[in-house]
Amino acid sequence: MAQTQAAQHKHLPGDLAVWFFIFAELAVFGILFIGFGVARSLAPATFSAGRAALHPWTGLINTIGLITASYLVACAVKRLRHEKTGTTALLVGAIAASSIYTFGKLWEYGVLYADGYNLGTDTFFMFYFFLTFFHFMHVGPGPDHPGGAGGEGEKRRLPHQQHERHGIRRVLLAHGGPGMAGAIPDALCTGLRR
């Protein structure tokens, strides 16, 4: 009886299609990280020199911004599901927090480019710019998702079941919004600097 109830409670949050999308994204990130690791083992001196040119504090601040944004979105989704108010404030906070990453990353790209580093500098920077920009493009459009979905949620007060079927924006929101599929890879992106 208890087992049956537990089985009934188990469900995949959001749309199935979005999970395939997320797993495809994670596979790409996985391949890139492993490629980075293999390339590093082949040219440790190049990677060590490249790492020294990065800004570890920017990486830390960016990661804090993304985790905070994901936390605020997760809290907003929970409140929305329980039909509580205050989701808009949480989502505005999430946009602000994810903007720390967006501007931090743009600043870092600007500084590195001004110092003469680009995709063609060496293997390290080819991987660094490619991987982090790929990640950036997942996060950059992120603030549109919580902003749009939060506004709708506040107005419509969607019941739980309808909320689950409400399309890609809400599903992305449920999976961390600004962090989205990039949330886990971000942990490894930060690791590239160390």
Partner 1 sequence: MLAVYIALMVCTMLPVIVMQAGADMTVLVWLVFALVLVKALLLVDHFMEMKHAPWGWRFAAQGWAVVVVAVLAGVHAVG
The residues binding partner 1 (CB under 8 A) are 9-13, 19, 23, 26, 29-30, 33-34, 37-38, 40-42, 44, 56-57, 60, 63-64, 67-68, 70-71, 73-75, 77-78, 174-176, 179, 183-184, 187-188, 190-191, 194
Least distance in Å: CB of 148 to partner 1?
19
Least Å from the CB of residue 128 to partner 1: 16
At residue 62, what is the residue type? Answer: N
Residues in the chain: 194
| Chain-centre distance for alpha carbon 91 | 15
- For partner 1, give the closer residue by CB, 118 or 165: 165
Nearer to partner 1, 33 or 109 (CB): 33
Closer residue to partner 1 in complex, CB, 113/191: 191
Q: How far is the CB of 116 from partner 1 (least distance, A)?
A: 26
State the minimum distance, in angstroms, from the CB of residue 74 to partner 1: 5
Cα angle, residue 99 at apex, residues 95 and 101 outer, rounded to 5°? 130
Residue 39 or 126 with smaller CB distance to partner 1 = 39
Minimum CB–partner distance for residue 149 and partner 1 (Å): 15
Q: How far apart are CA 90 and CA 111, in angstroms?
A: 32
**Cα distance between residue 166 and residue 173, in whole Å:** 11
Output 158 or 183, the one with its CB closest to partner 1.
183
Given the complex with partner 1, which of 10 and 155 has the nearer CB atom?
A: 10
How far is it, in rounded angstroms, from Cα 48 to Cα 65?
26
Tell me the CA distances in angstroms from 179 to 37, 119, 186, one per residue in order.
23, 24, 8
Query: Phi/psi at 186 (nearest 5 deg)?
Result: -60, -35
Question: Any idea which residue has 């999430």 for tokens?
Answer: 94
CA 100 remoteness from chain centre: 13
159 near 28, Cβ under 8 Å?
no
Query: How near is the Cβ of 118 to partner 1 at its closest, in Å?
Result: 25
